[in-house]
Homo-oligomer: A and B are copies of this chain.
Amino acid sequence: MRTELEEAYGFLFEKELIEEIAKSGTLKTVTAGDTIIEIGDYLTGMPLLLKGAIKILREDNDGDELLLYFIERGDTCAMTLSCCLGQTKSEIRAVAETDTSFIMIPIAKMEEWTVKYKTWRNFVFESYHTRLSEMLDTIDTIAFLNMDERLMKYLQDKVKVNGNENIHSTHQEIAYDLHTSRVVVSRLLKKLENEGKISLKRNHITVIDL
């Protein structure tokens, strides 16, 4: 854990803070597909991502889902942060996109470090900033783009966070993330394939050139 912590956050935090994090935090490891946070959960801490990627989902009253964004190494979930500080329930679901490891920081420490370490304070503010930007980006996407463009963006993001042009998803899974129907996804994927941008196989999409 110590090595990974240094690797992902060493350039951000001073030695003593890394030390404190290592001491107070608990290492968690989850495998792809695991639900890390469920909507309505009370959060006991805030996660610092060491390895892997997490996808953050929103759900409406009818159980319809929508992918908000991905979180990667070096990120924390400001939504979580926000929930911790406000002692409110989580408004989002977090699911491991890949095999993932992260450190859980107890709430109490967060406040303490905010006063004690400037680097931590900056990190927290920076996290809020990137999270707000990410949310703006999400809004742009759903407000200004058509479904075919959203799908392309989705595939690009998938390739990026997985570090692999091969996407192992069914059309139905993609449909959930984009909050549309399987048929629509199949239709648009087929179009992309005909344009030579991707290649389709069962349970498996290969991105060629988007």
A interface residues, Cβ below 8 angstroms from B: 58, 60, 62, 64, 66, 68, 78-79, 82, 85-86, 88, 91-92, 114-115, 121, 125-126, 128-129, 131-133, 135-136, 138-140, 142-144, 179
14 further contact pairs, Cβ within 8 A, besides A58-B140, A92-B136:
A60-B140, A64-B144, A66-B143, A66-B144, A85-B125, A86-B126, A88-B129, A114-B121, A128-B132, A132-B132, A135-B135, A135-B139, A142-B142, A144-B179
- Using Cβ atoms and an 8 Å threshold, which residues of chain B touch A114? 121
Query: Is A86 a contact of B129 with CB atoms below 8 Å?
Result: yes
Q: Shortest distance in angstroms between A78's beta carbon and chain B's nearest beta carbon?
A: 7
Query: Is B139 a contact of A78 with CB atoms below 8 Å?
Result: no
A132 and B82 in contact, given A140-B58, A140-B60 (Cβ under 8 angstroms): yes
The 9 lowest CB-CB distance pairs between A and B, nearest first, are: A60-B144, A82-B129, A135-B135, A128-B128, A86-B129, A85-B125, A66-B143, A142-B143, A82-B132
A196 to B136 CA separation, bound complex (whole angstroms): 36
- Using Cβ atoms and an 8 Å threshold, which residues of chain B touch A86? 125-126, 129
Choose from B58, B79, B115, B136 the contact partner of A58 (Cβ within 8 Å): B136
- Using Cβ atoms and an 8 Å threshold, which residues of chain B touch A129? 82, 85-86, 88
Query: Is B131 a contact of A132 with CB atoms below 8 Å?
Result: yes
